[in-house]
Amino acid sequence: MNVKPTCYFEASARTRIAKLVDPDSFSELCPPHLRHSSPHLARLNAPVAFDDGVMVGRALLAGHPVLIAGQEGKFNGGAVGEVHGAKLCGLLERALSERPAAVLLLVDSGGVRLHEANAGLIAISELMRAVLRTEEAGIPVFALIGGSCGAFGGMGIVTLLCTEVVISEQGRIGLSGPEVIETVKGVDEFDSRDRALVWRITGGKLRRVLGDATRLVDDDIASFRAATAELLGKHAERRLPASDLAALTEEHEQLSARARRYDTARDGRIVFEEAGFTELESVALMPVDDFNRHLEGTP
């Protein structure tokens, strides 16, 4: 049977979850008819969503039990408010008692929801701590990124705390978004309308070369599923060693070294060059398979 591929970028969070996991295996926690929507948005006279822009639940993926969350990027840019954050934190807390094979976070978010900024900031810090606690308990946390909002602000930080990061070329990871940087520091610092530049700095291919992302996949849900299934298999074979202070300190040192190395870089080009991509113009057009083959062939 020939199944038509479903674009990950365009799909809603509900569709992404439904097509990512084993058929009919998803059962939702705090489902929409319970109406856990944002009291802050309601007070501000802004539209609310029944699920506050994130769905959480249990599912099987290639037979592995997982806890899974999907952020809806089209609702307020997937931004994290109080209820939204509490649902994500609750899911990670549940992982400690249920001990799934992994927790999957389908990140599609610009960061903290400005309508409820204080509650959102607290939620992000709780979420960071929850991810580290889950990993410390030996349960891997995966971030999957391929939506229009990418993973920015607080969710960019949460993403980089995850054990595995699966990203498509369309996916992006960053802290301040390009528009924010341009507004604050001027167009000379970052021209947010130069899409090629934005992707050379925040996009999936650059994040894969830098090692922030552990898999680069095509923009269809089946490819995300295949990569996630492969990683679940890898982690089932070799349980995650409990993360400790020494490991975190070492990672910090590597990141500091990286920051020093690219201190004066104005563009992602130099990173691609050092990874052995000679024709820089063709990197953007290179199919994902060729890109991965090239990268994994690099010592």
Partner 1 sequence: MEQFVMTFPVGNRQSEIHPPRVCGVVSSGNLEVLVESGEPGDSCRIDVHTPAEGFRDIWNAVLGDFVERHPVGGVNVTINDAGATPAVVSLRLDQAVELFRSEKP
List contacts with partner 1 (CB under 8 A). 12, 14, 31-33, 45-51, 53, 72, 74-75
CB of 127 to partner 1, least distance (A): 22
Closer by beta carbon to partner 1, 83 or else 283:
83
Which is closer to partner 1, CB of 14 or CB of 269?
14
Residue 101 neighbours by CB distance under 10 Å: 20
Contact between 153 and 81 (Cβ < 8 Å): no
Could you give phi then psi for residue 267, rounded to 5 degrees?
A: -160, 160
Smallest separation (angstroms) from partner 1 to the CB of 33: 4
Closer to partner 1 by CB, 36 or 269: give it. 36
- Shortest gap between Cβ of 205 and partner 1 (angstroms)? 28
Report the C-alpha gap between 112 and 116 in whole angstroms.
8
**Nearer Cβ to partner 1, position 115 or 294?**
115
Taking the least distance from each CB to partner 1, the nearer of 12 and 192 is 12
